[in-house]
């Protein structure tokens, strides 16, 4: 029997952090129940959703440019519906609908269950919006539709929102207050991923260390996730230095499958800047935390986030960031120019007074230093045999695979008979600043 395909097609384009990647999978699941299938190009879609980020002004600019492309498509196909969801939707609310008349739908991060309703309104020709934030919504019962193609690694949200009020940050305004997801549903989701053949999960939250569900702490949750399958790697992000506990470090030490890499955003190396940022720790306190990590997990690698040119940052304070980088020696850093966000504490109380060219120069100094350090620390692995989880073909060639070590280092090696999802033992024979090169050993 020939079955006619009458499903509507949705194309979801995702910007921003891993949390948004995970949310897009929740959205795909809610829309699937409403009769939509997900497609991977917008040309054939009945509905385009842009899952947006508001973290810096340039993130929003990029999305606006993309929206222009989709509006052109809608001129050709007036039946096409276009929606903006996620953090920029939450930040701008009805302003988006007023500004972009051809936009059909705006939905914030806690309103995704309402999408089928909103789409009915939009389908009848009216603009639709829901930007209510919630203190309960965790989408705990929703089984995400996996949108990634490699089926090796997946994200699992364990909490939503953020209760910190870092002075520069828009996230508490776009994602609301912090709430933890039911631990039982997290364990069930990870079990399902393991049964489907996934080899790695990353537990996600803005501040995973403050996870608390009916007394279950993050360290306990992490241990229970690790026990599901010893061949399933477990990662997590993001840890806030003020909340990361030794219990978590001990859990990491206890289970081989909890990956030995920690993303611990420092933002600045200056205690005075950290105080203005309301990060609630000092340089010394942060370095103490790094010392505990080194003691409990000597093999762990570290990564971080850094902001250049925050309000009032002096040249000396900038130098303190460089000196902290030299002291910690991160494997990897995400480095940004400070971008003032409306409503935040910094925008209300401080002046964004560092000239653009100074911000740019300081950021460049941070980037240059980090690429030297990244290249140096990778050399530690030369001559070692590492276990790599293969993720896919390398950028350069289909004869090569790339994958990651437990320390989150990327390794490229000849494909031979291996496939994405295999654990491969690789002897490291060379390195570039971003990658290790090696050959398979048996």
Which residue matches tokens 């950028």?
Answer: 395
The tokens of 220 are what?
């306990």
Could you say which of ligand SAH, ligand SF4, ligand F3S, none residue 338 binds, taking C-beta under 5 to 8 angstroms by partner kind?
Answer: ligand SAH
Q: How many helices (H) and strands (E) does the chain have?
A: 14, 21
Q: Does 180 bind ligand SAH (CB under 6 A)?
A: no
Inter-residue contact 124 to 393 (CB < 8 Å): no
In the bound state with ligand F3S, the residue whose beta carbon lies nearer, of 52 and 261, is: 52
Q: CB of 267: closest distance to ligand SAH in angstroms?
A: 5
Task: Give the C-alpha separation, 84 to 90, whole Å.
Answer: 9
Residues 6+ apart with CB under 8 A from 37: 7, 8, 9, 10
Could you say which of ligand SF4, ligand SAH, ligand F3S, none residue 20 binds, taking C-beta under 5 to 8 angstroms by partner kind?
Answer: ligand F3S
Q: What character string, x for contact with ligand SAH (CB under 6 A) and - otherwise, covers 26-55? A: -----------------------------x
Q: What is the DSSP letter of 258?
A: B
Residue ranges in contact with ligand F3S by CB under 6 A: 16-17, 19-20, 53-55, 86-87, 170-171, 174-175
| Total residues interacting with ligand SAH, rule: CB under 6 A | 17
- Options 39-47, 163-171, 250-258, 280-288: segment touching ligand SAH (CB under 6 A): 163-171
Q: What character string, x for contact with ligand SF4 (CB under 6 A) and - otherwise, covers 172-201? A: x-----------------------------
- Options 109-117, 149-157, 334-342, 406-414: segment touching ligand SAH (CB under 6 A): 334-342
Q: Does 307 bind ligand SAH (CB under 6 A)?
A: yes
State which of residues 173, 338, 402, 413 lies at the interface with ligand SAH (CB under 6 A).
Answer: 338
- Options 64-72, 85-93, 121-129, 162-170: segment touching ligand SF4 (CB under 6 A): 162-170
In the bound state with ligand SAH, the residue whose beta carbon lies nearer, of 163 and 432, is: 163
State which of residues 150, 164, 220, 435 lies at the interface with ligand SF4 (CB under 6 A).
Answer: 164
Element (DSSP H or E) covering residue 372:
helix 356-378
Q: Does 403 bind ligand SF4 (CB under 6 A)?
A: no
Site for ligand SAH in 236-255 (CB under 6 A): 238, 240
Q: Does 275 bind ligand SF4 (CB under 6 A)?
A: no
By CB neighbour count within 10 A (0-12 exposed, 13-18 middle, 19+ buried), where does 93 fall?
Answer: middle
Which residue matches tokens 């203005």?
Answer: 276
Q: Does 18 bind ligand SAH (CB under 6 A)?
A: no
DSSP H helices, 93-133, are 94-99, 115-123
Inter-residue contact 278 to 239 (CB < 8 Å): no
By CB neighbour count within 10 A (0-12 exposed, 13-18 middle, 19+ buried), where does 52 fall?
Answer: buried
What's the Cα-to-Cα distance from 147 to each of 115, 144, 285, 335, 422, rounded to whole Å? 18, 9, 40, 28, 20
Residues 6+ apart with CB under 8 A from 437: 411, 412, 413, 428, 429, 430, 431
Site for ligand SF4 in 214-253 (CB under 6 A): 240
Between strands 301-308 and 179-180, the pairing is unpaired
In the bound state with ligand SF4, the residue whose beta carbon lies nearer, of 263 and 378, is: 263
In the bound state with ligand SAH, the residue whose beta carbon lies nearer, of 142 and 167, is: 167
- Options 57-65, 151-159, 160-168, 406-414: segment touching ligand SF4 (CB under 6 A): 160-168
- Residue 258 sits at the vertex; the CA angle it makes with 181 and 232, to the nearest 5 degrees, is 80
Q: Does 339 bind ligand SAH (CB under 6 A)?
A: yes
Task: Give the C-alpha separation, 382 to 208, whole Å.
Answer: 33
In the bound state with ligand SF4, the residue whose beta carbon lies nearer, of 240 and 359, is: 240
The tokens of 22 are what?
């995970």
Q: Does 169 bind ligand SAH (CB under 6 A)?
A: yes
Could you say which of ligand SAH, ligand SF4, ligand F3S, none residue 172 binds, taking C-beta under 5 to 8 angstroms by partner kind?
Answer: ligand SF4
In the bound state with ligand F3S, the residue whose beta carbon lies nearer, of 62 and 415, is: 62
Q: Does 366 bind ligand SAH (CB under 6 A)?
A: no
What's the Cα-to-Cα distance from 163 to each of 104, 133, 175, 375, rounded to whole Å? 31, 14, 10, 36
250 three-class SS: helix
Q: Does 267 bind ligand SAH (CB under 6 A)?
A: yes
Q: Does 171 bind ligand SF4 (CB under 6 A)?
A: yes
Inter-residue contact 252 to 297 (CB < 8 Å): yes
In the bound state with ligand SF4, the residue whose beta carbon lies nearer, of 29 and 207, is: 207
Task: Give the C-alpha separation, 273 to 63, whole Å.
Answer: 30
| Residues near ligand SF4, by CB under 6 A | 162, 164, 166, 169, 171-172, 206-207, 240
């Amino acid at each position: 029997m020939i079955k006619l395909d009458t499903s509507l097609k949705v194309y979801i384009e995702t910007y921003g952090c891993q949390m948004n990647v995970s949310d897009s999978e929740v959205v795909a699941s809610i829309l699937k129940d409403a009769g939509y299938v997900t497609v991977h190009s917008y040309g054939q879609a009945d509905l385009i959703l842009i899952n947006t980020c508001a973290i810096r002004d340039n993130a929003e600019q990029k999305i606006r440019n993309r929206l222009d492309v989709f509006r052109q498509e809608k001129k050709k196909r007036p039946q096409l519906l276009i929606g903006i969801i996620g953090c920029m939707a939450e930040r701008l609310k009805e302003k988006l609908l007023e500004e972009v008349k051809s936009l059909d739908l705006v939905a914030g991060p806690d309103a995704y269950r309402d999408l089928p309703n909103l789409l009915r309104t939009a389908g009848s020709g009216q603009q639709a919006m829901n930007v209510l934030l919630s203190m309960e919504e965790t989408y705990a019962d929703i089984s995400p539709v996996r949108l990634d193609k490699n089926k090796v690694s997946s994200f699992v949200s364990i909490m939503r929102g953020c209760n910190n009020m870092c002075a520069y940050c828009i996230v508490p305004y776009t994602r609301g207050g912090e709430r933890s997801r039911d631990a039982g549903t997290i364990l069930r989701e990870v079990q399902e991923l393991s049964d489907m053949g996934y080899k790695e999960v990353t537990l996600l939250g803005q501040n995973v260390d403050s996870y608390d569900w009916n007394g279950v702490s993050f360290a306990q949750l992490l241990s229970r996730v690790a026990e599901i399958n010893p061949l399933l790697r477990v990662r997590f992000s993001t840890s806030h230095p003020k909340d990361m506990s030794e219990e978590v470090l001990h859990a990491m030490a206890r289970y081989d499958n909890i990956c030995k890499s920690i993303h611990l955003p420092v933002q600045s190396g200056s205690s005075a800047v950290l105080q203005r940022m309301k990060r609630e720790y000092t340089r010394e306190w942060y370095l103490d935390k790094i010392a505990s990590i080194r003691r409990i997990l000597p093999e762990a690698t570290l990564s971080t986030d850094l902001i250049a040119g925050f309000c009032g940052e002096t040249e000396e304070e900038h130098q303190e960031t460089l000196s902290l980088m030299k002291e910690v020696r991160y494997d990897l850093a995400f480095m940004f120019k400070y971008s003032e966000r409306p409503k935040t504490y910094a925008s209300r109380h401080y002046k964004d007074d560092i000239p653009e060219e100074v911000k740019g120069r300081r950021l460049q100094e941070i980037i240059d230093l980090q690429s030297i350090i990244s290249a140096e620390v990778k050399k530690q692995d030369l001559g070692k045999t590492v276990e790599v989880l293969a993720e896919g073909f390398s950028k350069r060639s289909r004869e090569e695979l790339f994958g990651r070590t437990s320390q989150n280092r990327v390794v490229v090696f000849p494909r031979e008979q291996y496939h994405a999802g295999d654990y491969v033992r690789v002897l490291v024979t060379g390195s570039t600043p971003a990658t290790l090169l090696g050959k398979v050993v048996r």
